[in-house]
Structure 1
Amino acid sequence: MRTLLTLVAALWGAGTGLLLPRAAHRFSVDPGRPWSDHCPGGHRITGAFAGWLGRANCRQSEEAEQCGPYGPSAVTVSTTTALTCTALAAATAPHPETAVWLLATPVAVLLALIDYRVHRLPDALTLPLAAGTAALLGLAAALPTATGSWPTSLLGGLTLGAAYLLLFLINPSGMGFGDVKLALSLGTALGWYGWQILLTGAFAGLLYGALYGLGMVVLRRAGRKSAIPLGPFMIGGAFTGLVLGAFAAA
């Protein structure tokens, strides 16, 4: 049963990952703009799902230097999403919260891509992710094989969100308000497995971000005061916490 669920998770991750590159490009815009309607060559983006999902590839011009593939690599994004879903399913299946993690993973990967590209976490993704995670975990908690606590999950989301809000108020230049909103959903997910996992995942995210920043300084690709995208590392820390929490609850 676990092997079958892991295989399904891998296919789910690979399939949904292939749909993300175009959305990543469209959301990778400057602050103040909700999204982009055009490819780098200036042509309006069209296609399936109102031009939001699928590979980022413009074929509307014969000028190869202006069009063609753009945005993140579909193969890389698909592989990353598939590996993440596989690891989560292997750790948590066959419990009902597995479905919640698999549904949230493509959105989390998309947020990580956008934040890495333009240091931005759109409300159109962070807020639905927070509400959806809380609601779906509530449904999972009603099933007999659930391994977590929904009340602690909700408190975890509020706690981590409040902690990041405090950090934002202390040093607004070092953290975006999008990180605060992202913390709501990540705290909700981590809180499902208890306070220790919440602290572990939150600390891991900050640690990953600090190591990345230190590495950029050492390689002279950034200065000590350079801004770094914290979202991908927050998500990476949450992934670490969920895997550890699932193994502990098994």
Structure 2
Amino acid sequence: MYATLIVVAALWGAAAGLFVPRAAYRLSVEPEEPWRERCPDGHPLVGPGRGWLGAPGRRACATTTSPLLAPLLTAAACAVLAAATGGPRPELVVWWLCAPFAVLLACVDVRVHRLPDGVTLPLAAAVPLLLGGAALLPYGAGSWTHALLGGLVLGGAYGVLALINPGGLGLGDVKLALPLGAALGWYGWGVLFLGAFAGFLLGAVYGFGLVLLRRADRSSAIPFGPFMLTGGLLGLALGAFTAVP
């Protein structure tokens, strides 16, 4: 059962990750620019009224230089969470559903240093609602109350940091902190603190490395979303591994 769960997680992640490159290409624009409507070859990215989500697309319509990177990252994240959870807990389905959107946000942030509202705000609403459903099912290993409070606490903390240092954190980071805090808070305050701290630590190490390599200075902006999400993954994995249903 354990090995089967990990295989299912990896297959789901790989399949869901196929949809990420095209969506990332569509959303990777500057704040004042509209979402891209066509691929580099001129073909429509999505049908009328379908928003930013489109099919994986044809090889000739490739919208990224590494079309397999997103599926591999999503598969790895889902497999890690399945391995840490160790069983078919209801919150694991929530993590699997959120994983491709986390990879999507990371891809967009790396490219254009922004986290689009069209993804962060729906996640901010969906994660607490999905966890509320998970809390009603047996074998859950978390607290919905802590999830709600976690979202408010981490979102509020990021909001304060953004006010203190607007150049260091953007509003997209604040909005991402809401669903991330809810997910981490599901497993308790210790996991919330660890996941948030890991994100800051990873971002600091990356920024310091760029300064040492003279590829940036102390005032250079870096995409912080990927580090927030990686720290969140580490926190969730530890929380899932240590939680008792």
Please classify the TM superposition score into its range, dividing by the shorter chain length.
over 0.9
Q: Retained in 1: the 8 A contact 2:195–2:233?
A: yes
The alignment status of 1:182 with 2:176, answered yes or no, reads: yes
Q: Retained in 2: the 8 A contact 1:24–1:113?
A: yes
Deviation at 1:130, TM superposition (A): 1.3
The worse-fitting range, judged by mean Cα deviation, of 215-224 and 7-16 is 215-224
Q: Retained in 2: the 8 A contact 1:21–1:56?
A: no
Matching residue within 90, 93, 96 for 1:99: 93
Q: 1:34 to 1:194 in 2, by over 3 A?
A: farther
Q: Alpha-carbon deviations, 1:63-95, whole Å to 9, x = none?
A: xxxxx6332522111111101100101111321
2:63 aligns to what? 70
2:18 aligns to what? 18
2:44 aligns to what? 45
Q: 1:206 to 1:5 in 2, by over 3 A?
A: same
Deviation at 1:48, TM superposition (A): 7.1
Deviation at 1:19, TM superposition (A): 1.2
Paired residues, number: 241
1:150 aligns to what? 144
Separation in 2 of the partners of 1:146 and 1:115?
32
Q: Which amino acid aligns with 1:45?
A: P
Q: Alpha-carbon deviations, 1:105-162, whole Å to 9, x = none?
A: 0000000000011001011100111111100100101112111000011000000000
Deviation at 1:6, TM superposition (A): 1.5
Give me the identity figure in percent: 56
Q: Alpha-carbon deviations, 1:160-214, whole Å to 9, x = none?
A: 0000000000011111100000000000000000001000000000011111111
Separation in 1 of the partners of 2:166 and 2:58?
37
Q: Retained in 2: the 8 A contact 1:154–1:191?
A: yes
Separation in 2 of the partners of 1:218 and 1:57?
41
Q: Retained in 1: the 8 A contact 2:151–2:182?
A: yes
Q: How does 1:48-59 map to 2 (within 5 A)?
A: 52-55=53-56, 59=60
Structure 1 length as normaliser, TM-score? 0.91
Matching residue within 70, 86, 92 for 2:79: 86
Structure 2 length as normaliser, TM-score? 0.93
The alignment status of 1:5 with 2:5, answered yes or no, reads: yes
Query: Which segments of 5 or more consecutive residues in structure 2 lack a partner in the other structure?
Result: none
2:103 aligns to what? 109
Deviation at 1:14, TM superposition (A): 0.5
Which aligned runs of 4 or more in structure 1 are off by greater than 3 angstroms?
A: 46-52, 54-59
Matching residue within 208, 212, 222 for 2:206: 212
1:233 aligns to what? 227
Q: Retained in 2: the 8 A contact 1:21–1:54?
A: no
2:185 aligns to what? 191
CA RMSD of aligned residues (A): 1.8
Query: Which segments of 5 or more consecutive residues in structure 1 lack a partner in the other structure?
Result: 60-67
